[in-house]
A and B are shown apart, each in its own frame.
Chain A
Amino acid sequence: MSLPNGWEMVIGLEVHTELKTKTKLFCGCANAFGSAPNTQVCPICLGLPGSLPVMNERAVELAMAIGFALNCTIQDSTFHRKNYFYPDMPKDYQISQYDVPINAHGYLTLPDGFRVSIERAHMEEDTGKTTHLGTSGRIHGADRSLVDYNRSGVPLVEIVSGPDIRTSQQARDYVAELRAILIAIGASDGRMEEGSLRVDANVSVRKADAPFGTRCEIKNLNSLRSLQRAIEYEALRQIEVLEDGGKIRQETRHWDEDRGETSTLRVKEEAEDYRYFREPDLVDLAPDQAWRDRVKAGLPRLPAERRGLIESLLGELSDAQRDAVATIVDQGLDEYVLGVADAKGDVSLALARTANEIAANVAGRTNLSVANFVATVAMEQLGQLSATQAKTVLGELLESGGDPAAIAKAKGFEQLSSDTLSVTVGELIEANPDEWQRFKDGDDKLAQFFIGLVMKATKGQANGKAVIAELQSRR
């Protein structure tokens, strides 16, 4: 989307990711989604008097891994208390990193090469979850609220970008890339709908090269689509206000996905007074070189590198293929394509089958070995299976495993012998003399006409390439 009259968006994103640890940040309660309310609680994450926090080592390591993946400086860091009263926060303060976060000054490179700076990626604890009783289900109009502390104390890393993003598409690409990285390094499951990955967008507009305008923070962005739509709506809203001679108020706004608009949530009349001070119940983090090295050594290859590897096997890429590569790297399905490449098979075909068939049933990948995938692709490539048949075989493999050749046989997918094909083609030429003549006169389009007839007559068992070869030999 381009903005009218030379306006430009300035976007900074704050992404909160829950870390994929077994336990919470400061206690041994399970960090799991979807349990019965208040079943994953203890004196510590309920903030009962006398309880004390103790740092989860794995959470620190995942935070460092995020720092490495985002090219940050990993530094000795401290924890603070952010004081404010809210019923979902058991201690009525949040333990968070403040002026000295564990990760600072990094960057993330988008697939198109655009670099977004990362100001910081710091650790903090999540709050509990509030349910509002009453007609609306939202906070307004509720007469009573219920609190579940299962999520309270779940480890979070908040990743704050610089105000470098200039379009809603870039914002979307940034979150998509960040999400892919977080999933790849095992820091997050990346589920935006479940709230394990949460995005807030700071949006302002300006005329090109003018100073930054007043920004609004948009919350409740539960999908990449919401993110993009909300930013676009918000930028246009701000432009309208400014062009009418108005001023933008610094405020927090709520994105309403159904109505497709943002509305005021909270006006920042004065900065909240959180009375930050050092958390006396925790000591500082000062990871030594050995610890840092160990975390760094444990990092897998990042999505950009993995995409690069697959793309290099393909040569010239279409846009659709580029998307397909992104999809399989996102889903961690690289091994299938790489397996076919190792076997000197058709990488482009492997990419299509992986991005479509396997990606449609990711859970089924445990049933599908790379070797069986390579074999199926080879059968299709050699013409032993038609495209339709290959898809069916893969579907079956993903569903319940097995041997691809055996499945093909059981399904009756053995290709027609060339004799049978030759007879069928001969019969069809006789039945359609006009079309045959035009084909002989050089109208290649009619090849498709005959392939269709052959497929119909053989119930899809013929191989398209073999039909063409047969037609050419008779031309």
Chain B
Amino acid sequence: MKTAQQIANDVRAGESALVAVEASLAAIKARNEELNVFLYVDEDGARTAAEAVDAKVRRGEDPGLLAGVPIALKDNMCTTGIPTTCSSKILEGWKPPYNATVVDMLAAQGAISMGKTNLDEFAMGSSTENSAFGPTRNPLDPTRVPGGSSGGSAAAVAAEMTPLSLGSDTGGSIRQPAALCGLVGVKPTYGLVSRYGLIAFASSLDQIGPFASTVTDAALLLEAISGHDPMDSTSLPEPAPSLVAHVNDGVAGKRIALVRELVEGADDAVVASVNRAVEVLKDAGATIVELSIPELHLGLSAYYLIAPAEASSNLARYDGVRFGNRIDGDDVTAMMEATRTAGFGAEVKRRIMLGTYALSAGYFDAYYGQALKVRTRMIEAFAAAYQQADMIIGATTPSVAFTFGSKTNDPMAMYLNDVFTIPTNLAGEAALSVPFGTGEADLPIGVQLLGPGRSEARLFAAARVLEIADGR
């Protein structure tokens, strides 16, 4: 399959955008039933958009950075008139009256939205097993999970249905499935990409980011969706960074910290991959320092209080009054209870209750208040680390893709999957996962690169060094 960059170049050179769109539709038809990647495929919309791109090219206008490139959207991004479900029964059938800012930005850059992909309900999960519309299967081994919560978007690229997709990352929901599906996945700096129209899970942690099979494609997509949005108060004021231009900058002279807490407890194969990556980066001219950041141990606990607390409030609006589904009741409270009880799945209920408890009178200081202070300490600890290093390297996940049902009965076991990815979200900083080496059953392993806010260009350059060394 062609990369996004190749497609955009070909379309600019005069090839019809319909070529890539038809190839994408064919790939979706071939495997969607088996893998359950797309919840909605917008065949007509995709063809119409492709024709519009072709018309622009014919008129000699700039068709955009992503001219004619098919892309898949995680189904927690609002799309005008197109069902947006968050993989929840409570929103089934809901058609938003507006587009998320990223959806408009993609269209402006000539990208072709192919449809909406499966996720863990409301992005709560690490395996896409929590979808109300059935799990997504890992295209590399359909007996295993693709990771989550952006499992559908990861699988779309891994199954070569689209060269690009967008996910959202609240505690690792892009990086972890990218690692499990052998892709590049980026959690951008908080505020780099607009959240307007992204259905909130945990507002202070959520960020939209790209999946791609190459580092350059990921950089291209992130560049297209970055920049200030006046509709999002937490959007950074600076313009979009230049990323693609710096992909081949290398790591010569860069200081890279191997952080003990970001490999601790990982499988041997994962640790070996990280160590090998460190050697590659050293050979490419980087200086390696070894660091310990003990505060990272507390990330999981802080995250599993902060994220559910915000979620408990963000998910209050699903009350059967204005949109979505309603189960009737004798009075309005009974209606709301019936609607929410029938509409939310078990994991969502668990997190709503956990968050409600953490915020409730008498417990706020002991749980949520403590977690916010730990967050401060975590930001300070990262800042101190970045005094000594330009970026940090570690594992993305403790293991390769796991099999269905292996962690569903124990929430803590599932949550531990995010232990390496969560700290970046708490700090609001940048991180990506790049495939590097393989483990059990020849499944891919992801290496994680972390940096301070707005350090994406640096991280892409290092990822590109690893990508080349990995033979891609």
Contacts and interface: CB of A to CB of B under 8 A. Distances in A.
Do A and B touch, yes or no (CB under 8 Å, in the complex)? yes
Contacts of A145: 332
Interface in B97-129: 97-98, 100
B199 A49 contact: yes
Contacts of A52: 195-196, 231-233
Contacts of B441: none
Nearest to B322: A46
Contacts of A51: 98, 196-197
Contact of A280 (B100, B204, B322): B204
A321 interface: no
A51 B195 CA distance: 9
A271 B362 CA distance: 12
A145 B76 CA distance: 31
Nearest to B202: A280
Interface string A120-147: 0000000000000000000000000101
B97 A48 contact: yes
B313 A93 contact: yes
A24 interface: no
Contacts of A283: 233-234
B332 A87 contact: yes
A52 B97 CA distance: 15
A85 B316 contact: yes
A198 interface: no
B411 to A, nearest CB: 22
B361 interface: yes
Given A48-B96, A48-B323, A277 B317 contact: no
Interface in A48-107: 48-55, 81, 83, 85, 87, 90-93
Given A55-B233, A277-B309, A49 B78 contact: yes
B322 A48 contact: yes
B119 to A, nearest CB: 14
A282 B233 contact: yes
Contacts of B196: 50-52
B91 interface: yes
A280 B204 CA distance: 5
A235 to B, nearest CB: 32
Interface residues of A, number: 31
B359 A275 contact: yes
Contacts of B318: 49
Contacts of A37: none
A444 interface: no
Main secondary structure of the interface of A (DSSP, over half): loop
A85 B233 contact: no
A280 B78 contact: no
A273 interface: yes
A281 interface: yes
Count chain B CB atoms within 10 A of each CB in A43, A50, A83 and give the residue with the most: A50
A43 B78 CA distance: 11
B86 interface: yes
A339 interface: no
Contact of B322 (A47, A53, A93, A282): A47
User: Chain B: interface residue count, which band?
Assistant: 35 or more
Given A52-B196, A54-B231, A275-B360, A87 B313 contact: no
Interface in B161-220: 195-200, 202-204
B233 A277 contact: no
A49 B96 contact: yes
A92 B352 CA distance: 14
B334 to A, nearest CB: 12
A181 B196 CA distance: 38
Interface in B358-412: 359-361, 364, 368
Contacts of A85: 316, 319, 333, 336
A81 B200 contact: no
A91 B319 CA distance: 9
A46 B97 CA distance: 11
Contacts of A282: 233
B39 to A, nearest CB: 15
Contacts of A46: 322
Contacts of A92: 316-317, 319
Contacts of B197: 50-51
Contacts of B333: 85
Contacts of A149: 322
B203 A280 contact: yes
A47 B322 CA distance: 9
B19 interface: no
Interface string B297-333: 0000000000001101100111101110000000011
A43 B233 contact: no
A83 B196 CA distance: 22
Contacts of B356: 275
Nearest to B369: A277
A260 B195 CA distance: 52
Contacts of B332: 87, 145
Lowest 10 CB-CB distances: which A-B pairs, in order? A92-B316, A275-B359, A280-B203, A280-B204, A49-B199, A50-B197, A50-B78, A50-B199, A47-B317, A273-B361
Interface of B: 76-78, 84, 86, 91, 94, 96-98, 100, 195-200, 202-204, 230-234, 309-310, 312-313, 316-319, 321-323, 332-333, 336, 356, 359-361, 364, 368
26 contacts: A48-B96, A48-B97, A48-B322, A48-B323, A49-B318, A49-B323, A50-B98, A50-B196, A50-B197, A52-B232, A55-B233, A83-B316, A85-B316, A87-B321, A87-B332, A90-B317, A91-B316, A145-B332, A149-B322, A275-B359, A275-B364, A277-B310, A277-B313, A280-B203, A281-B203, A281-B233
Interface of A: 43, 46-55, 81, 83, 85, 87, 90-93, 145, 147, 149, 271, 273, 275-277, 280-283
